[in-house]
Amino acid sequence: MDVHANGIRFHVVEANPTTDDAEQPLVILLHGFGSFWWSWRHQLRGLRGARVVAVDLRGYGGSDKPPRGYDGWTLAGDTAGLVRALGHETATLVGHADGGLVCWATSVLHPRVVRSIAVVSSPHPVALRASAMTRRDQGMALLPSMLRYQVPVWPERSLTRDDAAELEAVVRSRAGANWLASEDFSETIGHMRRAIQIPSAAHSALEYQRWAVRSQLRGEGRRFMRSMKRPISVPVLHVRGDADPYVLADPVRRTQRLVPHGRYVSVAGSGHFAHEENPKLVNEQLERFLAGVNGA
């Protein structure tokens, strides 16, 4: 279905919609770089006791692709607007990678609409920045691709060339071996390669990465990072695959110092996509977390 929020149209997929949706606690699933709602297929099917929806973020999939608005402030406004447009006052936000950044930002900038957040391989943005700037291993994992994406036009062409072969290479470089060998991966990467070739989707995806780097050199980016240092008061769950080569353990440890009340789960053998690589375990952790948040 389509939902209008913050001035644009979002494509939203809902698990088992019913007439009493507004009476159930809302869970919004937010995907990461190069993906779309499909990345949450296992959670849409597996999470119970809540109204669960997965969203194509601004610029992705079936959502609108405006030329601007890929900054943390606007993305947080998108999510807060979605909560209200779906008929709820609050929601639990669940995000992977870039979607996790949106969770952190919304919890700080729009705290009244956030009941709790759960993130997958998405450390607190202050912790991730500090780790990338001070540790060679995290910097080498994170920064080369982000810096390469800063030039105009060429990265879009590279990402979509040869039926989006580069996107598959990026995902393969960050995923765990077991998932890479599975039929689920083959099906998923096919969907991802097609989705990134939707007109303007590649440009939008890269604009997230461009803002993350360029904003550090501008006043609004520095203001955003200062705002992210405000205390997080809502319940937090962080899940990371222990074989994730892109988001290493150090920024998660730093996140624990910033958010000591959070719960931190390591998924053995999984890479950067734990919610897809080991959905059974991740769903169990999410259901346990949601039960505590919602008082079930």
Calculate what percentage of the chain has a pLDDT beyond 90.
Answer: 88
pLDDT category at 36 given cuts 50, 70, 90 is: very high
Two tokens, residue 69: 């608005």
- Among positive and negative, which fits the CA dihedral 201, 204, 208, 213? positive
What does pTM read for this prediction?
0.95
Count the neighbouring beta carbons within 10 Å of the beta carbon of residue 16: 10
Instruction: Report the distance separating Cα 217 and Cα 221, nearest Å.
Output: 7
Question: Residue 48: which domain range?
Answer: 2-294
Q: Taking residues 52-60, report their average pLDDT.
A: 98
Two tokens, residue 171: 């995902």
Q: Taking residues 269-292, report their average pLDDT.
A: 97
Q: Tens digit of pLDDT for each residue in 170-209?
A: 999 999 999 999 999 999 999 999 999 999 999 999 999 9
Is the pLDDT confidence value at 5 over 90? yes
Q: What is the CATH number of the domain that holds 139?
A: 3.40.50.1820
pLDDT at 192: 98
Q: Taking residues 48-62, report their average pLDDT.
A: 96
pLDDT at 112: 96
Is the pLDDT confidence value at 22 over 80? no
Sequence-ordered list of residues with C-beta below 8 angstroms from that of 188, at least 6 positions apart, any chain: 38, 39, 276
Sequence-ordered list of residues with C-beta below 8 angstroms from that of 137, at least 6 positions apart, any chain: 248, 250
pLDDT at 132: 93
Task: Identify the CA nearest to 280 among candidates 42, 116, 54, 100.
Answer: 42
Amino acid at 284: E
Instruction: Report the distance separating Cα 175 and Cα 196, nearest Å.
Output: 18
Is the pLDDT confidence value at 21 over 80? no
Amino acid at 251: P
Two tokens, residue 239: 């899940």
Tally of domains within the chain: 1
Place of tokens 């779906």: 86
Instruction: Report the distance separating Cα 152 and Cα 74, nearest Å.
Output: 22
Amino acid at 43: Q
* Angle ∠(230,233,236) on CA atoms, nearest 5: 110
